[in-house]
Structures are given as structure tokens and as C-alpha cells.
């Protein structure tokens, strides 16, 4: 399962052959296949925001703990927009693999695992009015699923793998990435506070909730009490709200009503504090990651 991106082909300017919903593919994966689990033993899984919500619930932990224990951050673009990948062991095997039984979180597995061996490509061609969704085929030598005697359309494969729900929730995130990418230098490098807000809103949903329910946030944005109540109890609603907020913060779109004159006042008074706090949170998260890695290394050394 190497080099899968859920969407934006950040890594390459060369487009693979684009496939459509009605393209027919030959593929089947099942427990009896000779390569079963081989893809998970060389996992390179980039997580989309809804993947994290599903996985943290599945594992019964907060998003903050999930990120620290199960992911590694990486820069998705030259402006420092962060992504997260599932952590692997030294051999490259996904830590969520449950021995020979296969994926230990199968019904909550991430988007790229569901799509495999397809890659999902969200594009916004020059001059197009709407984003487009296409697919590409990933053919890796270890995968024998391509030799199986089964043919189906990509639409049928997507339905079988249950990706629709994931795509529906993640769609606005893909759009954000496309907009950021297509805006390029005209938007410039976002301030560090905006990059950190991107990380919080997209990945660390539980910490983002505390931020949204804080007095400082409520003093800035004019939301009804019912909206706050919904954001307090509903992860997906909060995630969608976060995507809207990011459009406002990253691109200056007025997607969320603000308290009268609050933005100017708050930006003037609080920007340095807000920036410092988010910077501290990022540092804290990175330190946690490093400490955990040190612990793991020490633990292995002791056990050897």
C-alpha cells in the first residue's frame, strides 16, 4: 500500500491515467489470497480528517492521543500545510494490523485502505467551474488481487468498500486543499497561526472543540446557542464547521458571522497570544511524539 494519497497529487506534477466511475477494473482481495496483508506490511497511509474521527472512536481515545500514538506528521506542501500518516513499525508494517487476521480496525479503516488499489484524485483543471473526481490504478508487484477472476466498475468497487460516506465528509477538505494549491503564490504562505488552526480543525477535533467552545471564540463569532450545542456533541458537524472556518481564515471568505467589529478588535488584541498559544500546542504535540518515540526505542532496547 505504498505512496497512496487520498486526493491531491501534491507529490507529482505527472498525472497518472485518469479512470472514471464506469471504468471496469479487475481486482479482488480476500483472506485466501497468497498476498493477504502484504499491502498493510508496507503501509504508507495518509489520513483524511474523517478517518481520524472513525479511528479515534474505534480505539476509544481522544483525537489528541490518537495523533500522538498512531500518526506521524508531514508537510503536504511547500507552505507548511501539515498532513498526517499512520505510524508503522521499522519494517513499514501498519501498527493497526492484527497479526495474520488482517486489519484490526477493518470496519473503520481509512479512506486510502478502502480505495486500494485505486487512488482518488481530486482535480480542478484550469478554467473548470467545479472540482472533478477521478481515479488511478496502483499496480504493485506484491499485489495478486489484479490476477483474480473478477471484473467490476469503479462505482461498484466504491460501493463495496463503503467509501461514499468518507468522501462525503472529506469533500470540503479536498476542496480546501485544491483551493490552497490552485491559489498558489497569490495567497502566499499562511501565517503560522492559520497553519496551526488547519491542523487543529482537520485532525485534532477534540482540541478544536475546546477552542470553539472557549469564551474567546464565542466573543468573536456570532453563532446561536443551538449551533454551539451541536458542535459540542457532534464530531462530524464540528469538522464541517472547521472546514468553513478555514475558508474564512485561509482565504478571507466570510463563511461564518462574526460579532460586530470583533474580528478587527480581536485580531489586534489577541493575535500574538493566539499565535504563541498555538505554537506552544504544536511544540507540546511534537515533544509528546518525540518522548513516545524515545520510550519505544528504550523499551525495545531493554527487551532485546
- Does position 94 bind ligand SF4 by CB under 6 A? yes
Binding residue for ligand SF4 (CB under 6 A) from 49, 110, 117, 190? 110
Binding residue for ligand SF4 (CB under 6 A) from 8, 52, 53, 113? 113
Q: Are 179 and 7 a contacting pair, CB within 8 Å?
A: no
- Does position 122 bind ligand SF4 by CB under 6 A? no
Closest to ligand SF4 by CB, 88 vs 196, is 88
Backbone angles phi, psi at 75, to 5 degrees: -85, 125
CA–CA distance, 27 with 115 (Å, rounded to integer): 12
Closest to ligand SF4 by CB, 100 vs 130, is 100
Query: Cell for 217?
Result: 471564540
Per CB under 6 A, contacts with ligand SF4 among 231-290 are none
Q: Are 124 and 2 a contacting pair, CB within 8 Å?
A: no
Query: Could you tell me which stretch among 63-71, 91-99, 259-267, 281-289 binds ligand SF4 (CB under 6 A)?
Result: 91-99
Binding residue for ligand SF4 (CB under 6 A) from 1, 29, 53, 118? 1
CA–CA distance, 55 with 59 (Å, rounded to integer): 6
- Does position 227 bind ligand SF4 by CB under 6 A? no
CB of 107 to ligand SF4, least distance (A): 10
# of chain residues touching ligand SF4 (CB under 6 A): 12
CB within 8 A of 191, min separation 6: which ones?
Answer: 275
- Does position 105 bind ligand SF4 by CB under 6 A? yes
Q: Maximum Cα–Cα distance for the chain, whole Å? A: 65
Gyration radius of the chain's alpha carbons: 21
CA–CA distance, 303 with 216 (Å, rounded to integer): 48
Query: Could you tell me which stretch among 108-116, 217-225, 258-266, 289-297 binds ligand SF4 (CB under 6 A)?
Result: 108-116
End-to-end CA distance of the chain: 29
- HSE value, Cβ hemisphere, 13 Å, CA-based, for 153: 7
Which x/- pattern, by CB under 6 A, does the window 40-69 give for ligand SF4? x--x-x------------------------
CB of 125 to ligand SF4, least distance (A): 30
Q: Are 167 and 159 a contacting pair, CB within 8 Å?
A: no
CB of 204 to ligand SF4, least distance (A): 19
Query: Cell for 150?
Result: 473478477
Given the rule CB under 6 A, which residues bind ligand SF4?
A: 1, 40, 43, 45, 94, 96-97, 103, 105, 109-110, 113
Amino acid at each position: 500500500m505504498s505512496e497512496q494519497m487520498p486526493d491531491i497529487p501534491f507529490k507529482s506534477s505527472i498525472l497518472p491515467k485518469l479512470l472514471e466511475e464506469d471504468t471496469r477494473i479487475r481486482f479482488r482481495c480476500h483472506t485466501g489470497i497468497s498476498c493477504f496483508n502484504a499491502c498493510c506490511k508496507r503501509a504508507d497511509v495518509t489520513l483524511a480528517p474523517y478517518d481520524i474521527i472513525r479511528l479515534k472512536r474505534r480505539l476509544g481515545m481522544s483525537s489528541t492521543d490518537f495523533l500522538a500514538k498512531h500518526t506521524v506528521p508531514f508537510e503536504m506542501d511547500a507552505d507548511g500545510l501539515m498532513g498526517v500518516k499512520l505510524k508503522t513499525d521499522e519494517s513499514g508494517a501498519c501498527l493497526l494490523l492484527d497479526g495474520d487476521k488482517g486489519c484490526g480496525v477493518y470496519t473503520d479503516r481509512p479512506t486510502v485502505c478502502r480505495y486500494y488499489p485505486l487512488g482518488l484524485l481530486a482535480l480542478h483543471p484550469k478554467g473548470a467551474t467545479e472540482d472533478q473526481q477521478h481515479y488511478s490504478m496502483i499496480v504493485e508487484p506484491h499485489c495478486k488481487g489484479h490476477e483474480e477472476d473478477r471484473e467490476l466498475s469503479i462505482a461498484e468497487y466504491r460501493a463495496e468498500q463503503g467509501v461514499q460516506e468518507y468522501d462525503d465528509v472529506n469533500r470540503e477538505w479536498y476542496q480546501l486543499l485544491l483551493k490552497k494549491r490552485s491559489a498558489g503564490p497569490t495567497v502566499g504562505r499562511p501565517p503560522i497561526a492559520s497553519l496551526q488552526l488547519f491542523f487543529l480543525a482537520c485532525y485534532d477535533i477534540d482540541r478544536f472543540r475546546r477552542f470553539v467552545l472557549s469564551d474567546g471564540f464565542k466573543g468573536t463569532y456570532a453563532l446561536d446557542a443551538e449551533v454551539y450545542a451541536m458542535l459540542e456533541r457532534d464530531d462530524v458537524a464540528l469538522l464541517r464547521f472547521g472546514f468553513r472556518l478555514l475558508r474564512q481564515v485561509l482565504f478571507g471568505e466570510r463563511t461564518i458571522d462574526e460579532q460586530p467589529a470583533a474580528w478587527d478588535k480581536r485580531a489586534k488584541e489577541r493575535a500574538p497570544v493566539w499565535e504563541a498559544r498555538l505554537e506552544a500546542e504544536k511544540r507540546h504535540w511534537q515533544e509528546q511524539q518525540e518522548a513516545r518515540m524515545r520510550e519505544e526505542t528504550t523499551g525495545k532496547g531493554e527487551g532485546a
